[in-house]
Amino acid sequence: MREENLKNVRKHSKYSSYRGESSKVAPNILNRDFSTTGPDQKWATDVTQINIGMDKCYLSPILDMYNGEIVSYTISDHPDLKMVMDMLGKALAKGRTRKGLILHSDQGWHNQHAIYQKSLRDHEILQSMSRKGNCLDNDIMENFFGIMKSELLYPNTFMDMDHFKAELRKYIEYYNNDRIKLRLKGMSPVQYRTHNTVLS
């Protein structure tokens, strides 16, 4: 592996952005009700840390609970405020937000930040947060991370972090447009959304 400049994937403990509660903690509006009747009614977001050799990066996506589609995402070397603001900005730029849209997350410090919360209010997005230390409240997001890691991260070897990031971008494109789901009647997330949009 040294001769080929290859690095093993190293599994580490789950990234936690929790730094304590503040007055900015939002109520758990979602309350584990992941059901929807159409796209862009309920979104989920979270951050996961990925380690390749001695390097690490952070994936911060927004997922639509209607079809499991990744609406937007950022890949960052640092779990800072810019990471989540860029992710949110990309989602808002798609023009898919509507009044009453719920965006659910954990109580991470990014999600409690005044600038982030103001952007949600400005776009009439309702913020919902999981209870402290209860990952089941955001199970739909945890499920995506688990699928991505079991299909992309763990079975493969990457030359370096840049190689992994490139493959991650390809994987999210595949996940949205080509990876079929039984719950979506054998369609991919984007196919399911566009098919039902035509029918409606």
Residue range 119-158, pLDDT digits in tens: 999 999 999 999 887 778 899 999 999 999 999 999 999 9
Cβ neighbours of residue 69 closer than 8 Å, sequence gap 6 or more: 39, 63, 176, 189, 190, 193
State residue 20's pLDDT score.
55
* 8-state DSSP, 24: T
State residue 137's pLDDT score.
86
pLDDT at 15 > cutoff 80: no
Mean pLDDT of 68-95: 97
Mean pLDDT of 182-186: 96
- Spatial contact of 50 and 61, defined as CB atoms under 8 Å apart: no
User: 3-class SS at 74?
Assistant: strand
Binned at pLDDT 50, 70 and 90, residue 101 comes out as very high
Angle in degrees, CA 74, 147, 126, rounded to 5: 50
Q: What is the mean pLDDT of the chain?
A: 90
The per-residue pLDDT for range 19-60, each reduced to its tens digit, is 555 558 999 999 999 999 999 999 999 999 999 999 999 999
